[in-house]
Structures are given as C-alpha cells and as structure tokens.
Structure 1
Amino acid sequence: MKYLNLIRYKNLLMIALMQLIILYGFLKLQDIGLALTIWQYILLVVSTVCIAAGGYIINDIFDQNTDNINKPNDVIVGKSVSEGRAYNIYVGFTLVGVCIGFYLSNLVLRPNFLLFFILPAALLYVYATSLKQMMVIGNIIVSVMLSFSILIIAIFMILPAIDEVNKPQMQTVISVLSDFAIIAFILNFIREIVKDLEDVKGDYNQGMQTLPIVFGISRTTKLVFGLSFIPVICILYYIYNYIFHLTYATIYLLGFIIGPLLYFTIKIWSAKSKIDFHHLSNVLKLVVFFGIISIAVIGLNMKYYAA
C-alpha cells in the first residue's frame, strides 16, 4: 500500500478514468476515424499515468521537509520508503512512460511527437526541484500537466488521422477537447492556490514564495473568491452557446458542476483555517471528477437524446 500511496494511485486512476471516458464516452460516439487502436490507446493511457506517477514521486522526494510539517502522518519518502528506492521507482516509471511514447510516436509516423512525453517528464522534474518554490509558476505548471493529459489525446488520436475530407469534423472534436482542457486548467489552478493556503505553514518554514506567503492568507482568499467566478462564467457561457439544446447535459452541468462551484465561492470568502481550505480543496477535486463524467454525459446526450 505504501507504494500505491507513493505514486498517488487515486489521482492516477482519475487520470486514466478521464482518458477512457473521453475515448468511450465521446470519441467513439462521433463516428470518426481514430489514429490509434484500442490497445494502442491503452498504451497512451499507461504512458501518461507513468509520467504522472514519476512526477508525484520526485515531488515527494524534494518535499520531505515540507511534508513533515504540513502532513506528518502522510509522509512516505524517508519513512516507509527510502529516498534511494524512491529515486529508482521514479526513474523506472518515467522511462516506461517515455519509451511507450517513443513507440507511439513512431507508430503514428510522427517521431517528433516524442517531445510530448519528454517535455512533461522534464518539466515535472524541474517543477519539483525549483519551480515549485516560485510564486504562481508552480501552480501553472501543475495545472498545465492536467490539461495536457486531455490535449495529448487530440495530438495522438485526432491529428494523425486528419485529411481534407474529415478536417472540419476533426477540428470540431479538437475544439471540444480544448475547451475541456481549458476548464480543467482553470479549476486545477484555483485548487493549487487553495492547497497553498492549506500548506502555508510548512511552505513558509521552507522559504517558499507562494501567494499566501507573499500576499497573506486573507488577500489570497479574496483573490481565490474572485477567480472562482471565472469557471462559473465560462461553463454557463458554454452551456448557453453550445449545449443548451442538450437537456440532460445541461441539467447535469448545472447540478453537478455549477452547484458545487457556487458552494465553493460562498465558502471561500469566509475560509480561514487549514480545515476550511482542505475541505474546499476536496470540493474542487470533486468538481473535476464530475467534470470528467460530464464528457460522457455530453457525448451520450449528443448521440442519443439531442433535441
């Protein structure tokens, strides 16, 4: 179990679930040709998960002192798993992810696509070793990685299969995936700031320059309050302009996405304690999960129950 916790298996399962839902709940319902077969797509999922697992491990390795303050009961590296063994596991996961990426890139006749595996792996390492301590930059990097786990599907499943005949339809599919990636980025960016609010004590003792440390907890909380309106407005705009005719999808988004986001907005205004911020971080994590499910809800509604 300690090794599963080391790689944050729950987060990895969420990434894998998201990518599988995009395939079966959206792409497979669009009646389009895809560049990868099912088993090749599974390899893409495995590669993404492996690189993400490596990122979690290297982050834990360099976060030992901070974690001993912020979450002493959850520390793994240096306690149940030695630092040396953690490094070996990190290298193993990262190499597997990049090697699969090398295979898939050549499979779709785009060898330069290997960069889409090497760059995230390198960025996660640099994030853990230095960028995490820089204000806002670390939050952006983590959020970009989540969005990229969506965009890489478009890169490998759609781009190599585009021709002059299907180009308009393929561009529409890419646009939808891009919209999901943007919303995922915004939600995760806000959640990363909330996590900084939750971990402010340990981060301060390690000399990190997060928003709560630089601007204070109160000002950062008010900033998050303002930022929380962005995904609400974006999603309402998306509903009104693109899926309002999809009754079930509209109801789902209003109830399971907009509802929790409005709850978050109300609660963040008066949040002060570590417990408050931890709760609100979990609320956003739940919103991201419901957002993943919404991909299938929209896809199924478009195919079978469109007005």
Structure 2
Amino acid sequence: MKYLKLIRYQNLLMLAFMQLVFRFLFLKESNIYLALTDFNYILLIISTVCIAAGGYVINNIMDQDTDEIAKPQNRVVGVSISEATAYNWYIGLTIVGVGIGFYLSNVIYKPTFASLFILVATLLYVYATNLKQIPVVGNIVVALLLSISIIIIALFDVFPATYDANRSRMSEIFSIIIDYAVFAFLINFIREIVKDMEDMDGDYQTGINTLPIAIGIKKTKIIVGIITAISIGILAYYVKVNLFELDFVIYYALLLIIGPLLYFGVKLLNASNKKEFHHLSLVLKIVLFFGIISIAVIVFNLKHA
C-alpha cells in the first residue's frame, strides 16, 4: 500500500481510465482507421502512466518538508519508504515510460515524437524541483501536462493514420480531442490553484511561494472565480453551438458539468479553511471525470438520435 501511495495510484487510475474512454468509447466508435493496435495503445497508456507515476514520486521526494506540515498522514518518503528507494522508483518508472515512448514512436514511423515523452518527463522533474515555487507557472505546467496526455492520443493514434482521402474526417476527430484537452487544462488549472490554497500553511512554512501566498487568499479567490466564470461561459457556448440538437448531452452537461462548476463558484465565495478548499478540489475532480465521460455520452446520443 505504501508504494501505491507513493505513486498516487488514484490519479493514475483516472488517467488510464480517461485514455481508455477516448480509445474504446470514442475513436473505436467513430468508424475510422487508427494507427495503433489495441496492444500498442495499452502500451501508450502504460507509458504515460509510468511517466506520471515518476512525476508523483519525485514530487513526493521534494515535498517531504511541506507534507510533514500540511499532510503528515499522507507522507510516505522518509517515513515508510527511504529517499534512496523512492529515487530508484522514480528512475525506473521514468525509464520504462520513456523507453515505451521510443518504441511506439518507431511503430508509427514518427521517431521524432519520442521527444514528447522526454519533454514531459523533464517538465515533471523541473516542476518538482523548481517551477512549483513560482506562482502560476507551476500550476500551468501541471495543467498542461494533463492536456498533453489527451493530445498524445491524437498524435499517436489519429495523426499517423491520416491521408488525403480521410483528412477532413480525421481533422474533425483531432479537433474534438483538442477541445477536450483545452477543457482538461482549464479545470485542472483551477484545481491546482485551489490545492495551493488548501496547502497554503505548509507551503508558507517551507518557503514555497504559491499564488495565495504571493497575493493572498482573497485576491486568489477572485482570480479563480473569474477563470471559473470564463470556463462556464466557454462550455455553455460550446454546448449551444456544437451539441444543441443532442438533448441528452445538453441535460448531461448541465447536470454533471456546468451545474457542479456553478456550485463550485458559489462555495468558493465563503471558503476559508483547509477542509473547504479540499472539498472544492474534489468537486473539480468530479467535474473533470464527468467531462471526460461526456465524449462517450455524445457518441451514444449520436447513435440513438
């Protein structure tokens, strides 16, 4: 169990689930030719999960002092797992993830795509060691990395299978995946700032300069509220323009995505302690989950419209 906590397995399961949904409930149902076999797609999931797990490990190593203050009950490195062992896990997971990435890049005859795996692994290390101490920049990097885990599906499974005859259809599929990547970025960016508000005490005592520490909780909440309002506006516009004829999808989006975001915005106004910010972070995680699932709901609604 200690090793599962080290790699934050719940987040990894959600990442793998998200990629499975896109492959088997969207791409496979879209009647298009795909570049990867099912086996190779599973390898792509393993690669992204391993690199992400390595990122969590190095983050846990670097966060020992902060976790001792903010989340002593969740601390693993330096308690049940030695720092040396944790480093070995980080190196092993990253090598496996990047190695599989190299293999898959050659499978689709795009060897330069391997650089994407190296870039992600490097960003995760730099984030844990330096970037997370820079207000907003660290939040953007983490949010961007989740988006890349969605975009990588298009790059490895859709783009290599594109040719002149199917270019229009593939461009449409590629565009939809990008739309979801943008959605994931916005929600995860907001969530990362909320987590900074949740962990403010520990970050302050260990010298980490996050946005709430730099400008205060009140101003940070205003910024988060504005970004949330913009996100709701974008989602509402997207649903109206692209999905207006799909009644079930509209109800789904209102009830499980836009509704919870409105709830989040209202609760944010009076949130002031660690427990309340943790609750808000969980709400955003639920929004992200149902947002990803919506791609399967759209496909189902189109088939039965």
- On whether the aligned pair clears a TM of 0.5, the verdict is yes
CA apart distance, 1:17: 0.3
Q: Which shows bigger deviation, 132-141 or 206-215?
A: 206-215
Structure 1 residue identity aligned to 2:22: I
1:221 lines up with 2:224 in the alignment: no
Q: 1:169 & 1:231 partners in 2: Cα distance?
A: 27
- Counterpart in the other structure of 2:296: 296
* CA deviation map 1:201-259 (0-9, x unaligned): 11111211211001111111122111111221111111100011111111111110011
- Counterpart in the other structure of 1:233: 233
- Counterpart in the other structure of 2:82: 82
Q: 1:7 & 1:300 partners in 2: Cα distance?
A: 34
Task: Give the SS at the match of 1:79.
Answer: coil
1:305 lines up with 2:294 in the alignment: no
Structure 2 residue identity aligned to 1:218: K
1:123 lines up with 2:123 in the alignment: yes
Structure 2 residue identity aligned to 1:299: V
Q: 1:298 & 1:231 partners in 2: Cα distance?
A: 20
Q: 1:195 & 1:67 partners in 2: Cα distance?
A: 13
* CA deviation map 1:178-214 (0-9, x unaligned): 0000010000000000000001111111211211001
- Counterpart in the other structure of 2:258: 258
Report the RMSD for the aligned CA atoms in angstroms.
Answer: 0.7
Q: 2:290 & 2:230 partners in 1: Cα distance?
A: 18
Unaligned runs of at least 5 residues, structure 1: none
Q: 1:33 & 1:84 partners in 2: Cα distance?
A: 45
Q: 1:54 & 1:295 partners in 2: Cα distance?
A: 28
* CA deviation map 1:100-128 (0-9, x unaligned): 00110000011101011110001100000
Q: 1:104 & 1:288 partners in 2: Cα distance?
A: 28
Unaligned runs of at least 5 residues, structure 2: none
Task: Give the SS at the match of 2:165.
Answer: coil
Q: Which shows bigger deviation, 98-107 or 201-210?
A: 201-210
Are the counterparts in 2 of residues 196 and 212 from structure 1 also a CA contact under 8 Å?
Answer: yes
Q: 2:112 & 2:65 partners in 1: Cα distance?
A: 38
The TM-score, its normalising length taken from structure 2, stands at 0.99
* CA deviation map 1:38-58 (0-9, x unaligned): 011000000000000000000
Q: 1:154 & 1:301 partners in 2: Cα distance?
A: 22
- Counterpart in the other structure of 2:199: 199
Give the 4+ runs in structure 1 shifted more than 4 A: none
Are the counterparts in 2 of residues 68 and 75 from structure 1 also a CA contact under 8 Å?
Answer: yes
Q: 1:285 & 1:73 partners in 2: Cα distance?
A: 21
Q: 1:245 & 1:45 partners in 2: Cα distance?
A: 33
1:123-162 equivalent positions in 2, closer than 5 A: 123-162=123-162
Q: 1:212 & 1:37 partners in 2: Cα distance?
A: 46
Are the counterparts in 2 of residues 139 and 192 from structure 1 also a CA contact under 8 Å?
Answer: yes
* CA deviation map 1:13-60 (0-9, x unaligned): 000000000011110111110000101100000000000000000000
